[in-house]
């Protein structure tokens, strides 16, 4: 079996008195573009920072590309490209100066690729980083990651705050990299629309832990809406787990996960979209189910984002 790109076992991280991440067991296979989705504070950045070797677990284990990521293991970390939400760039630098800095600190740096990418994006090597638009800065930051020719790219909300054209350009750049070099990608995002088109592995996080992690196709295939008239709703079939329930004056509809192909004559069965499945998980335990008539106080969560 091929080594998973990220593998964790009971991984946990505590910040003072709050858990940023707990009981996180995960195995993301090689050859995937994996999406981490979840509300702010769910632990996505905490997990990605530990994967990038920037933060150490409080307990449990994490391995990337088969090795333990730590600041001391340069030979492992040079195989990884990590892009922070903040997209750190030296603002006073020109693009070519950033690239020379990248080449000096990364033995696998590919200057031809770096030049070709910014050229296609209409960015001049002479441009100063702080004079570029937000979208162009994001593209330069991603180019810095790609020019390292990493085996694993870890991207924390790479397209957040970008206008639609800039985000499209950025994601295409990323997809072309995957097509040409087979780079493994793990990214966090709030844009559910992107998940279905660019990702093929899904990790849903909530309340500092993982609630679902699987191949995207399997996620879609293993969830169904089950509807019935509420006054005489039949018993739920065996092997289904209800994730979310909506009620109207007449009908009850469950979004359920199934372990087996469902053969059932008593419920009306329809296929949910990927967005509907993800939203149902994100609503879990938040008290924000629309069918509830009363208002639940917002759940308090750990203070990290």
Partner 1 sequence: MTEKQPSILFRLDPRSGIAPYRQLVDQVRQAVEMGRLRGGDQLPSVRDVVTQVTINPNTVHRAYRELEHLGLAEGRLGLGTFITQNPDVHTTEVGNAELSRQLQLWVQRASAAGLVDGDMLELLRRILNHDERVLS
Q: Residue numbers of the site for partner 1 (CB under 8 A)?
A: 31-33, 168, 171-172, 175-176, 178-180, 193-194, 196-200, 217, 220, 268-271, 273-275
Query: How many C-beta atoms lie closer than 10 Å to residue 23's C-beta?
Result: 14
Residue 227 or 289 having the CB closest to partner 1? 227
Provide the 8-state DSSP code for 230. Answer: G
Q: Which residue has the tokens 């969830």?
A: 223
Cβ of residue 179: shortest distance to partner 1, in angstroms?
Answer: 4
Cβ of residue 118: shortest distance to partner 1, in angstroms?
Answer: 16
Residue 73 or 221 having the CB closest to partner 1? 221
Cβ of residue 66: shortest distance to partner 1, in angstroms?
Answer: 22
Which is nearest to 167 in space by CA: 198, 145, 126, 196? 198
Query: How many C-beta atoms lie closer than 10 Å to residue 131's C-beta?
Result: 10
Cβ of residue 175: shortest distance to partner 1, in angstroms?
Answer: 4
Q: Are 12 and 22 in contact (CB under 8 A)?
A: yes
- Token pair belonging to 223: 């969830």
Residue 31 or 285 having the CB closest to partner 1? 31
- Token pair belonging to 116: 């070709």
Residue 19 or 281 having the CB closest to partner 1? 281
Spatial separation of the C-alpha atoms in residues 215 and 203, rounded to whole Å: 9
Cβ of residue 270: shortest distance to partner 1, in angstroms?
Answer: 6
Length of the chain: 305
Q: Are 145 and 80 in contact (CB under 8 A)?
A: no
Residue 114 or 198 having the CB closest to partner 1? 198
């Amino acid at each position: 079996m091929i080594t998973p790109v990220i593998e964790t076992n009971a991984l946990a991280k505590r910040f003072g008195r709050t858990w940023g991440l707990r009981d996180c067991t995960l195995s993301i296979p090689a050859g995937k573009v994996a999406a981490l989705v979840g509300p702010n504070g769910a632990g996505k950045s905490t997990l990605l920072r530990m994967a990038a070797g920037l933060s150490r677990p409080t307990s449990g284990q994490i391995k990337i590309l088969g090795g333990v990521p730590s600041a001391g293991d340069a030979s492992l970390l040079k195989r990884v490209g990590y892009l922070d939400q903040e997209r750190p760039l030296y603002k006073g630098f020109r693009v070519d100066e950033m690239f020379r800095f990248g080449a000096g600190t990364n033995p696998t740096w590919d200057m031809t690729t770096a030049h070709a990418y910014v050229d296609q994006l209409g960015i001049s090597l002479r441009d100063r980083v702080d004079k570029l638009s937000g979208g162009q800065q994001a593209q330069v930051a991603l180019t810095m990651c790609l020019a390292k020719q990493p085996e694993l790219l870890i991207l924390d909300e790479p397209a957040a705050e970008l206008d639609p054209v800039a985000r499209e350009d950025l994601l295409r750049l990323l997809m072309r990299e995957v097509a040409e070099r087979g780079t493994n990608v793990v990214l966090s995002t709030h844009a559910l629309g992107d998940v279905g088109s660019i990702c093929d592995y899904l990790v849903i996080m909530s309340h500092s832990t993982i609630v679902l992690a699987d191949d995207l196709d399997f996620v879609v295939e293993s969830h169904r809406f089950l509807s019935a008239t509420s006054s005489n709703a039949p018993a739920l079939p065996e092997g289904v787990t209800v994730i979310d329930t909506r009620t109207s004056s007449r009908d009850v509809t469950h979004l359920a996960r199934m372990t087996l192909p469902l053969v059932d004559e008593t419920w009306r069965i329809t296929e949910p979209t990927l967005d509907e499945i993800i939203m149902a998980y994100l609503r879990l335990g938040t008290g924000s189910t629309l069918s509830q008539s009363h208002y639940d106080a917002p759940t308090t969560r750990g203070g990290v984002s």
